[in-house]
Amino acid sequence: MATNPEMFPIEACFDWFLLATGRGALLALAVLTLQTVFGSKLRALWRYALWFPVLFVLSSPVLPESPFSLERGWSQTGPKRMEVAVPPARSDFRIAPVVPVAASSGTNSNGGRVAASVWAAGVFVCLLVGGFAWWRALAVFRRGTTSLTPELGMEIVEAARHSGLRSAPEVLVSHTVPGPAMSGVLRPLLLLPASFTETFGRDERRLILLHEMTHVKRGDLLGNAVVCVLQAIHWCNPLVWLAFARFRADRELACDSAVLSAVEEDRRRVYGQALLKMETATVLPPFRLGFVGLVGLFERGQDLRSRLSAIAAHRGNDLASTVGGLVLLFGLVFAGATRAQHEADIDPGRSILIEAKFIEVPAAAEVARTSQSLGLDQKTGIMVWPSDTDAIEELVRTPGADVMSTPRVVTSSGQKATIEIGQQVPNGAGGLRSVGIHFAVLPGWRDGQIQMELELRLTSRKPGADPVFAERKIQSKVVVRPGEVLVAGELGREEGAGRLFLVLRPHLVEIDEAERRRRDAILIPEVVFIEARLSEVLGFLRARAQQLDPEKKGVNLVYRPVKGEPEPVVTLNLKNVPLSRVIRYLADTSNLEVEMVDADVVLRPRMAIRQGAGMHSVVVEGKDSGPPLAVQVQTDRVDLAGGAAKTKTAELAGRFVLPRVEFQNATLAEVIQFLQAKSVELDPERQGLNFVLKIPGAPAPEAMLITLSLRDVPFSEALGHVAQLSGLKLRFEEKAVVLSRDE
C-alpha cells in the first residue's frame, strides 16, 4: 500500500483499515456461503480452517499477488487510457481548486481526518475496555480461589500428557469461575470451578480436560488474542463481528472433533452429557465482556445445540473430506486473500529518461491546445497529449507562462524516481514542513510502451500568524509510448496565484543513445555559413546527413520558432565534425534547446527558468540499485539555463554540453581534473576553463567524495551539482571558475 510520506500515521492506518475491513467482510461472506452450501459434509476441522484466510486479510498490511485473485474481476490490473475526441480549440482545463487545511491537523481532507480520528478512538476504547474487563474477570476469579485436590491434579497432568504437552498448565480453582476455560497468551492458565469434581464424573472430567489441553496444544490462546485485537481494530464493521462469533463457535466444534478423534473409544454420549451438565450447572454473570479473553465451554442456546448435533454426527476425517477441505482452503487463500497479479516487465533492466517541466500559467490565461485527441483520466485529471502535436509548445508559450523547473532523471524499469522542489517552513507547532512539489514516478517497460505509476503532490503555505497549508494530490497509472508527452492538468490554484502544470516526456535511453551514436557517426566535412538563417543551415545539414549517413536514414532537423520572435542568424566555420556536435554548436550559439521527438531532432528557443531559492532534488531508488542517488541544487546560486551569467567563463560553461558524467565516490580533486580536461576537449579553441579551489583547512579536496550521474547536461549545471554536493560556493570570474568556502 503506497502512502503519502507526509500523511499522519493515523490517516495511513485508516486507509489500510478501509481496504482490509472491506476485503475481510467480503471474504467472511464467502466463508459463510461455503459453510451453508456444504453443511454437514464439511468437517469441523475445515469449517474452522476456512476462517484463517479472513484473519490474514484483516491483519496483513500487504497482501501477496496471485494470478487467481478475484480482485482481477473488479479492479484495474493495468493502466488504461480513455480516448476522447476533442475538436481543436483553445480551452481552459480546470480541476477543483485545492482545499486549505489547518497546519496542526495534517494533510488531506478534514472529513477523512475526522473519520480516521473517530476510528482510532474507537480502537483505543475497545482495547482499553476489553483489556480492563478481562483483567477484572481474572481478579474476580482469584478472589474465590480454593485448593486443588491431588486426584484432580493427577487427572490434569494425565490430560496434558495425553494431549502432547510438555508440562501441565497452571491451574486456578475458584468458586467464582462459572465453567472450565483457558486464559492467558504465552503462559496458559486453566480455570476450573470449585464444584468441578462433584458436578462431573471421571470420564466427563477427562474429556473436558482434554478439550482445554487441545486448545493449548493448537495455539488457540494466541489466536484468540489476535482475534480480540482485530475485533477492536474492526469495531465498526458488523460483518467482522459476525465472522469472529462464528470463528469462536467453529473453533469449539473443531476442538470437540479433535478430542473425540484422540480417545480410544466412542465417547460421544459421555461428551454430550458433559456439555448438557455444563448448561445446567453453571450460572453465567449478565456482563461477560471479559470472557472474550477466555477460551472455554460457555456456549448456550443455538451454539450448544450445534455442538451437540456435531458430536452426535462425529466421524473421523477420511481422504475425500481432507482433499475437499484443502481445495476449499487453498481456493480461498489464492482467490480471496491476495491481490491481482500485475504482469512483470519484459525487460526490467531498460533505462528510462524522464524529462519534466513544471510550468505555471497565469490564473486568467487560457491554455491553447491544438491536439485532435487526448487520453483523459477523468478521476485524476491526467491528460495524455500525443507527441506529434504542439501541445507542450502551446502550453509553454501561453502568455505569462513561467517555467519553474526542468528536472531530468534517468531510472530503470521497475525503479522509483522522485523529484522534489521546495523548501522547509515552520508548521506553527514548533517543527518544519515541506512545501512545494513532490513528484514520484515508477516506470515499467513492457510491450514497446512505458507504464508509469504517478504520484504528484503540491503543498503550499498561506501567510498568517497561524500557518495554513493547502495540498493537492494526484495518483494515476498511465501507459505512454517513448517520447510521448504526458500533461498533468491544472494541479491547483489559489486566489491571485497561477495554475501549475506538469509536462512529462519519457524516453527509452537505449533508443536515444542509438540515435546519438548514429548522429556521431555522420561526419560533415565542412560547414561554412556567414549570417545565414537557421532554416537554411538546417536544410543543408538534412541534405548532407542523408548523403553521409552510413545507414542512409538521414536525420530530420526541425526548428520550431516562437510566434513573433525573429529567426536566429547563424555564423559557422567547422570542418570534419560529427553532426551531433554541429547541432550542439547551433543550439549554444543561437540560445536554443534540443529535444528528441520520435526520430526528429527539434530545436526551439531556450526557455527561461525561474530562479528561486527553493531546493531541487532528484532521487532514484530501487531494490537492487544500491543507495539512492540524490542530487540537490540551490537554484539561486547557479543559472541552470545559462542565461544569467555574463563573464567569459560563465558563457563557456553554459555553451559546453557534457554527454555523460558518472562519478562513484570520486574525490573532488579527481572530479575537477576530469572537468578541466573535458572543457579543453569541448572548447573549439582548445583552451578550456581554469579552475581555482579556495578551500583551506579540512576536509581537503582529496577527502571530499562525490557520487553523481548526469547525461546531456550543460557544463555550468554539472559544476552546480559538484559545488552543492561538496558544500562549496561556485563563482564564475572573468578568467577562472572558483570553488570556495567563503561567500
Q: Contact 108/8 with Cβ under 8 angstroms?
A: no
- Cα 25 from Cα 230, distance rounded (Å): 13
Nearest to 631 by CA among 483, 450, 418: 418
Q: What is the pLDDT of residue 389?
A: 46
Q: What is the pLDDT of residue 617?
A: 46
Q: pLDDT digits over 322-342, tens only?
A: 888 899 989 888 888 887 765
Cell of 311: 458430536
- Cα 281 from Cα 275, distance rounded (Å): 10
Q: What is the pLDDT of residue 237?
A: 93
Cell of 239: 460483518
The domain spans of the chain are: 113-337, 351-509, 521-608, 648-740
Cell of 713: 547536461
- Cα 442 from Cα 461, distance rounded (Å): 28
H/E segment holding residue 359 = strand 351-361
Dihedral sign of CA atoms 610, 731, 585, 535 in order:
positive
Cell of 273: 452429557
Q: What is the pLDDT of residue 229?
A: 92
Which residues of the chain are under the pLDDT cut of 70?
Answer: 1-8, 72-111, 281-293, 296-302, 341-349, 366-394, 396, 463-466, 488-498, 511-512, 563, 596-599, 607-646, 698, 742-743
Q: Contact 340/69 with Cβ under 8 angstroms?
A: yes
Q: What is the pLDDT of residue 608?
A: 53
Terminal-residue alpha carbon distance, the chain: 46
Nearest to 713 by CA among 703, 725, 705, 721: 721
Q: Contact 518/551 with Cβ under 8 angstroms?
A: yes
CB atoms within 10 A of CB 526: 11
* Triad 121, 124, 129: Cα angle to 5°: 125
Q: Contact 293/183 with Cβ under 8 angstroms?
A: yes
Number of Cα atoms under 13 Å in the Cβ half of residue 608: 10
Q: pLDDT digits over 403-442, tens only?
A: 777 777 777 787 888 877 777 777 777 777 778 778 888 8
Q: What's 597's DSSP letter?
A: E
- Cα 87 from Cα 97, distance rounded (Å): 26
* Triad 74, 77, 81: Cα angle to 5°: 100
CATH class of 648-740: alpha beta
Axis crossing angle, helix 579-589 with helix 509-521, rounded to the nearest 10: 100
Nearest to 535 by CA among 566, 504, 564, 577: 566
- Cα 134 from Cα 127, distance rounded (Å): 10
Q: What is the pLDDT of residue 172?
A: 92
Q: What is the pLDDT of residue 391?
A: 60
**648-740 matches 521-608 in CATH topology:** yes
- Cα 487 from Cα 501, distance rounded (Å): 7
521-608 placed in CATH 3.90.1150.10: no
